[in-house]
């Protein structure tokens, strides 16, 4: 353990797997520090001249509020990846209990950095130190998309007249899986034939389109935009402004501003083009 300059630590937003700093926890920590309570050391990973803060963001912010110069830290030699791996499970057994948004953010960070197979619920549970049920929920969408892709590949090969054994050998899936997918396809075809007046070719095309990776990606965009629109008005937020977050908020705002501006520009341009056409 060592006492480090508070401003010498690098606060990477991805090393904070929580969705946000909890205001009530922060206020409590500040009061405890003022009362003279000594906190457990934060965890830092040292990579050359960079000190990655891997655990203790609430403690760091609390020290920042009281204008402390230093903070007690446990230092490990390791890379940013090592810090990421540590941070994703750091709050499993201590600190504020994690919620749905925390688990989702941690899962997205792990996938974005290639730390886990997005569809492997067991690996996700082990990495995030979460329950199996949470891991199942987090990976459900990816597993569903993978199943759609797998079934489409099997059905395509079967439509080319290949046997179950040939499809199994070509795709790597077991013959039992190939057989089950083929049977489900035949059953669906029977239902489609019996309800053909209700399910047109256009409707079927739309259903297939909604299951595509492209549609799933845009669905995620829509969810993100709706989440932004649910936030409190900026005027109200500014009244509650807390300068301790400036160094983190500014970076994230700049990233999101570029992304939303480009997204908005493309939609406006496409809309105008359609109107002129």
- How far apart are alpha carbons 273 and 200 in whole angstroms? 30
Q: Are 88 and 109 in contact (CB under 8 A)?
A: yes
Whether pLDDT at 186 is above 80: no
DSSP single-letter state for residue 6: G
> Do 193 and 237 reside in the same domain of the chain?
no
Quick: pLDDT tens for 44-85. 999 999 999 999 999 999 999 999 999 999 999 999 999 999
Domain check: are 10 and 68 in the same one? yes
- Report CA-CA distances (Å) from 159 to 61, 154, 162, 176, 253: 60, 9, 7, 17, 50
Q: Look up residue 117 and give its DSSP letter.
A: -
CA atoms within 13 A on the CB side of 187: 6
Q: Do 240 and 186 sit in the same domain of this protein?
A: no
> The whole model's pTM is what?
0.58
Give all strands of the β-sheet with 2-5 in edge-to-edge order. Answer: 2-5, 70-77, 42-47, 50-55, 9-10
pLDDT at residue number 94:
62
89 and 139 belong to one structural domain:
no
Percent of the chain with pLDDT over 70: 81
In a domain, residue 195? The reply is: yes
Residue 205 lies in a domain: no
Residues 70 and 28 in one domain: yes
Q: Tell me what pLDDT residue 48 has.
A: 93
Would the CA dihedral through 38, 39, 45, 49 be positive or negative? negative
Does the pLDDT value for residue 105 go beyond 70?
yes
What is the helix (H) or strand (E) element at residue 155, kind and residue range? helix 132-159
Residue in 74, 61, 51, 80 with CA at minimum distance from that of residue 18: 61
pLDDT category at 257 given cuts 50, 70, 90 is confident
210 domain-assigned: no
Question: Does residue 209 sit within a domain?
Answer: no
With CA atoms as reference, report the closest residue to 142 among 157, 166, 123: 123
CATH number at residue 9: 3.90.1530.10
> Both 70 and 9 in a single domain?
yes
Domain that holds residue 38: 2-98
Pairwise CA distance, residues 43 & 87, whole Å: 9
Of 95, 129, 97, 91, nearest in space to 15 by CA: 91
3-state secondary structure 37-103: CCCCCEEEEEECCEEEEEECHHHHHHHHHCCCCEEEEEEEECCHHHHHHHHCCCCCCCCCCCCHHHH
Examine the pLDDT at 191 and tell me if it is beyond 50: no
The tally of domains found in the chain comes to 3
Shared domain for 184 and 258, answered yes or no, is: no
Q: 97: pLDDT confidence band, cut at 50, 70 and 90?
A: confident
């Amino acid at each position: 353990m060592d006492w480090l300059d508070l401003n010498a630590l690098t606060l990477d937003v991805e090393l904070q797997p929580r969705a946000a700093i909890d205001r009530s926890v922060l206020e409590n920590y500040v009061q405890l520090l003022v009362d003279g309570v000594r906190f457990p050391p934060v965890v830092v990973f040292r990579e050359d001249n960079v000190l990655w803060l891997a655990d203790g963001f609430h403690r760091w912010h609390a020290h920042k509020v009281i204008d402390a110069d230093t903070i007690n830290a446990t230092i490990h030699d390791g890379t940013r990846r090592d810090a990421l791996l540590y941070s994703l499970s750091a709050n499993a057994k201590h600190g504020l209990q994690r919620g749905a948004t925390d688990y989702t953010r941690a899962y997205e960070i792990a996938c974005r950095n290639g730390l886990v197979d997005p569809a492997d619920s067991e690996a996700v549970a082990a990495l995030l130190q979460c329950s199996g049920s949470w891991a199942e929920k987090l990976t459900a969408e990816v597993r569903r998309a993978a199943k759609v892709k797998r079934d489409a590949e099997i059905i395509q090969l079967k439509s080319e007249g290949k046997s179950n054994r040939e499809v199994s050998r070509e795709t790597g899936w077991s013959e039992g899986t190939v057989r089950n997918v083929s049977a489900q396809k035949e059953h669906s075809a029977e239902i489609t034939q019996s309800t053909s007046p209700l399910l047109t070719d256009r409707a079927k095309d739309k259903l297939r389109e909604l299951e595509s990776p492209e549609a799933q990606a845009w669905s995620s965009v829509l969810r993100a935009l709706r989440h932004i629109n649910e936030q409190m008005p900026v005027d109200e937020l500014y009244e509650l402004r807390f300068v301790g977050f400036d160094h983190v908020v500014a970076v994230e705002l700049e990233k999101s501003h570029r992304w939303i501006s480009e997204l908005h520009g493309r939609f406006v341009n496409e809309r105008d083009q359609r109107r002129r056409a």
